[in-house]
Chain A
Amino acid sequence: MAAQATNPEHSNSSSTNDFKSMKEMKDKNFGLSEEEFIQMQQAMSNGDESLFEQIYLSNFQKCVNILIKFNGANSDQAYSATMKALLEIRKELLQNKLVYDNLVGHFNKKARRELGKLKNKKSERMTIRTVDGMEFKDDKDFLKKIQSKEVVDCVGKAISRLEKIEKEKKPRCSNLLKYRYYYNWSYPAIAKKYYPGSIGEKLEHKASGIGHKVRGNCLPNFKIILEKILLKRLTKDFLDF
Chain B
Amino acid sequence: MKNFKQYFNNQLTEAENNEITSALLTNYYDSVLEKKWAKELSEKYGVSPHKAQEKKVKVITLAQKLLALAASFLLLFTLYQLSDTGVQQNYQELVATHLAEKYTHINVRKGLSQDDLRTLATEAYVSDNYPTAIDYYKQVIQLSAGPKIEDHFFLGLSYLYNNQLELAINTLQPTLEMDITSNFQSKEIINWFLGLAYLKTNNIEAAKIELAKIKGPKKQKAKELLEQL
Contact = CB atoms under 8 A, between A and B. Distances in A.
Interface of A: 46-50, 53, 57-58, 60-61, 64-65, 68, 74-76, 78-80, 83, 86-87, 90, 128-132, 134, 136, 138-139, 142-143, 145-147, 151-152, 155-156, 159-160, 163, 177-178, 181-182, 184, 193, 195-198, 219, 222-223, 226-227, 230, 239-241
A199 B45 CA distance: 44
A240 B19 contact: no
Interface stretch (B27-35, B83-91, B178-186): B27-35
B77 interface: no
Interface of B: 1-5, 7-8, 15-34, 37-38, 40-41, 44-45, 47-53, 56, 128, 163-167, 199-202, 204, 228-229
Given A47-B163, A151-B24, A226-B8, 6 more contacts: A47-B200, A48-B166, A83-B37, A146-B20, A159-B28, A241-B5
B47 A68 contact: no
Q: Which 5 A-B pairs have the closest CB atoms?
A: A75-B53, A75-B52, A240-B3, A155-B28, A79-B49
Contacts of B18: 130-132, 181
Nearest to B4: A239
Contacts of A197: 204, 228-229
Contacts of B49: 75-76, 79-80
A178 B25 contact: yes
A146 B19 CA distance: 11
Contacts of A178: 25, 29
B40 A57 contact: yes
29 contacts: A47-B165, A50-B167, A57-B44, A60-B45, A61-B45, A64-B47, A74-B53, A75-B53, A79-B47, A87-B34, A128-B22, A136-B19, A139-B2, A145-B4, A146-B20, A146-B27, A147-B27, A151-B24, A177-B21, A181-B18, A181-B21, A196-B202, A196-B229, A219-B21, A226-B8, A226-B24, A230-B4, A240-B4, A240-B5
Contacts of A131: 18, 22
A139 B32 CA distance: 25
A83 B27 contact: no
Nearest to B51: A75
Contacts of B2: 138-139, 142
Nearest to B21: A181
Question: Is chain A's interface secondary structure helix, strand, loop, or mixed overall?
Answer: helix
A38 B17 CA distance: 34
Contacts of B7: 223
The winner among A132, A145, A223 for most chain B CB atoms within 10 A is A223
A114 to B, nearest CB: 13
Nearest to B159: A50
A68 B51 CA distance: 12
Given A86-B37, A128-B22, A128-B23, A75 B56 contact: yes
Nearest to B17: A219
B29 to A, nearest CB: 5
Contacts of B34: 83, 87
A48 B164 contact: yes
Contacts of B16: 136
